[in-house]
Amino acid sequence: MSQFAAPAIAWGALTPILIVFGAAVIGVLVEAFVPRGPRRTIQCVIALFAVAVALVAVVWRWTIAAHFGSTSVLNGSLQEDPFSLGAQGILLVVTLFALLMIADRTSLGDGAFAASGATRPGSVEEEDYTRAGFAQTEVFPLMLFSLGGMLVFPATADMVTLFIALEVLSLPLYILCGLARRRRLLSQEASLKYFLLGAFSSAFMLFGIALVYGFSGSFRFAEIAEAVVLVAGKDTLLLAGCVLILVGLLFKVGAAPFHTWTPDVYQGAPTPITGFMAASTKLAAFAALLRFWYTIAYQMQWDLNGPMLGAAVLTMLIGTVLGIVQNDIKRMLAYSSIAHVGFLLLGVVSLTQQALGGTLFYLLAYGLATVGAFGIVSLVREVDSDGNITSEATSLEQWAGLGKRHPLLAAAMVIFLLSFAGIPLTSGFIGKFVVFSAAVSGGLAWAVVIAVIASAATAFFYVRLIVLMYLTDAKDERTVAVDTEGPTSIAIALCAAATFVLGIVPGPALNMANHASLLLP
């Protein structure tokens, strides 16, 4: 009679992921058993505590990986190494700031989310729930489940795990995008578009995984990479599979021509969720893309570099040109994010260690500025003819004169916009500099020239908003910045300070990012 041999599991390496998923499960139990009154406070504390403790766990694991190297987890399904831990650390920092925005409420007593997501917009039931002060506290466990999937994404070393992590991070986001308190129909439309297009991209990725398995007979990244060398010249299945997997990953980062969901979803989703999604999802997806590209696809670079460079250039041009003509600030920031994806793709294709570390730093800089910018957008509101504060003032014209009425808020927005534009003394400048330098070293000088021109052009719509805030008089006084309980203001202040500090003293963060670039085979 044979005895069962229990698998050896490196539980320590799974600690950050288990903390987040465990807190998400506890949040579901809180929804089921805790009375409505204290529920929101308890959910806020659980979520903030879980993200903070997971960040401490990542720092602990970083010190171990720095001395003992990488660790294979769950029989090779996950890989704990400086790259995965660096990406997870950046992800948790950015998410912590986004969570402060999600947990906040204005002085009017309302949050960014509908009183009940199950009610029909404009119905009597919706009015009753809103009048009763109900809160959609399911947002917190949903966000933690999505974050758990994001933490798995950079560490995945297995195709099946890659797909599962993609679905775990995506499904809660589809729901969260449809829970806006105001403009409910627009929010639900955004949620439906994101779900349908996301389902198509998942199908492409799953088909690609099947083709890659048919080529190599394995789901493991390392074994697939070995098969590429052994079966050289018979790589049709591998090439088709890699292309389809890249389609799924490029959709998630919002690269052209798979970008069409981005402006609609950014505009319709609750603004704190937009900030979380724009920063954290992009970071996790780029980390997964980097691992896939540098372990498998790099051996197919003669076939794949051309399409990837084409996607990068097209993404830069679309984000720049269409961003210039936008009059809605959330759509403008959406096209700004698309342009940044094009810049980041240069770091992916460069295939140098400098590019890998530079891309991580760029993602940190972009994430901080994005969360801060959307935090400010969530505070700037319209005032109706009766003097009541209503929905967010997303039209650019409504931001005229904001610098005079709310100087601190406008100053923080200027810092974020200058970082997006890549102006010196901001983290965005350092991020672009290291990525573009790495691309030049990788022989992509012509693409960098296009990127620099596109970057200069994007400065137009950032400067236009600065001019509106400081040099344009408002036609009326129907735009105000609302007071909140405080977490959003804290997140904005910390993001602005970090954006400025990383632009002046980037050395420590760059060194850590470069240390995390030990992924190169």
pLDDT tens digit at each of 521 positions of the chain: 456 666 677 888 899 999 999 999 999 999 989 888 888 899 999 999 999 999 999 999 998 887 777 778 888 889 888 899 999 999 999 999 999 999 988 776 677 788 777 777 777 787 777 777 777 889 999 999 999 999 999 999 899 999 999 999 999 999 999 888 888 888 999 999 999 999 999 999 999 999 999 988 889 988 888 887 766 556 788 889 999 999 999 999 999 899 889 999 999 999 999 999 999 999 999 999 999 998 888 778 778 888 999 999 999 999 999 999 999 999 999 999 999 999 999 989 987 778 888 899 999 999 999 999 999 999 988 877 666 777 788 888 888 888 888 899 999 999 999 999 999 999 999 999 999 999 998 888 999 999 999 999 998 889 999 999 998 887 767 778 888 888 999 999 999 999 999 999 999 899 888 888 765 44
Task: Please give the pLDDT value at position 134.
Answer: 76
For residue 520, tell me if it sits in a domain: no
Q: For the chain, give me the number of helices (H) and strands (E)?
A: 21, 5
- Collect all residues with Cβ–Cβ distance below 8 Å to 453 and sequence separation of at least 6: none
For residue 74, tell me if it sits in a domain: yes
For residue 166, tell me if it sits in a domain: yes
* Identity of the residue numbered 387: G
For residue 77, tell me if it sits in a domain: yes
For residue 3, tell me if it sits in a domain: no
If we measure between CA atoms, which residue out of 280, 249, 444, 283 comes closest to residue 361? Answer: 283
Q: Which residues pair with 113 in a beta bridge?
A: 180
Task: Please give the pLDDT value at position 519.
Answer: 58
Whether 370 contacts 413, CB under 8 Å: no
* Identity of the residue numbered 256: A
If we measure between CA atoms, which residue out of 470, 456, 353 comes closest to residue 410? Answer: 470
* 35/31 Cα distance (integer angstroms): 8
- CA torsion, points 406, 413, 272, 490, in degrees to nearest 10? -70
Q: Pull the structure tokens for residue 64.
A: 């171990």
Q: Which residues span the domain enclosing 91?
A: 15-515
For residue 8, tell me if it sits in a domain: no
For residue 10, tell me if it sits in a domain: no
* 197/209 Cα distance (integer angstroms): 19
Global confidence as pTM: 0.94
- Angle, vertex CA 35, rays to CA 32 and CA 38, nearest 5: 115
* 324/200 Cα distance (integer angstroms): 29
In order, the DSSP letters of 237-271 are: HHHHHHHHHHHHHHHHHT-TTS-THHHHHHHHS-H
For residue 463, tell me if it sits in a domain: yes
Continuous segment of H or E residues that includes residue 380: strand 380-383
The SS3 call for residue 457 is helix
Task: Please give the pLDDT value at position 2.
Answer: 58
As for how many domains the chain has, the answer is: 1
